[in-house]
Amino acid sequence: MFAARRDRKTAVEAGHVPGRTCWESRRHAVVLARPVARALALGLAGFACFLLGWPWMVAAPPLIAVGALGAGLSVWRWERTMVVLTTEELAVLHGTLRRRTASVSLGRIATVEVEQSLLGRLLGYGTLLAGELEIPFVPGPRDVGRLVARLSA
């Protein structure tokens, strides 16, 4: 009934990373937990100031605005960060106006390591260490690590 929308170009199509895309993802959404909690705390503090009445209520709008702005910027930063594995390299792309890429060629990767905390194992994220590149909050890091090891062999 509805056609799939494909407004966004992949990193390879946009010319940021060479090769054919094998895997592409954002970092795990758990990276948003701390900024959202901070925004919620600021929002609740603003609400409490509003309930206290004059003169405390003057601080409520700035507290709420700072919390909302911080959460919005964190979501934007998360949305604009991609982890890309192609047939030639593993890369992390950051930014909107100023696009930055940290990458390592698959030919230079000697070992692939995956680190996961207990919470990371429960929620399905971890840190992927491939060559000189360390990528935190990778979703499904074991599967990605196996794919990187297979492509780099």
Tens of pLDDT, residues 33-76: 999 999 999 999 999 999 999 999 999 999 999 999 999 999 99
Alpha carbons 49 and 117: distance in angstroms, whole number: 38
The per-residue pLDDT for 16 is: 66
Q: Which two tokens stand for residue 109?
A: 């990767």
| pLDDT at residue 5, as a whole number | 42
Sequence-ordered list of residues with C-beta below 8 angstroms from that of 33, at least 6 positions apart, any chain: none
What pLDDT is attached to residue 98?
Answer: 86
* Regions of the chain short of the pLDDT cut 50: 1-6
Q: How many CA atoms lie within 13 A of 122 on its CB side?
A: 4
Question: What is the pLDDT at residue 2?
Answer: 41
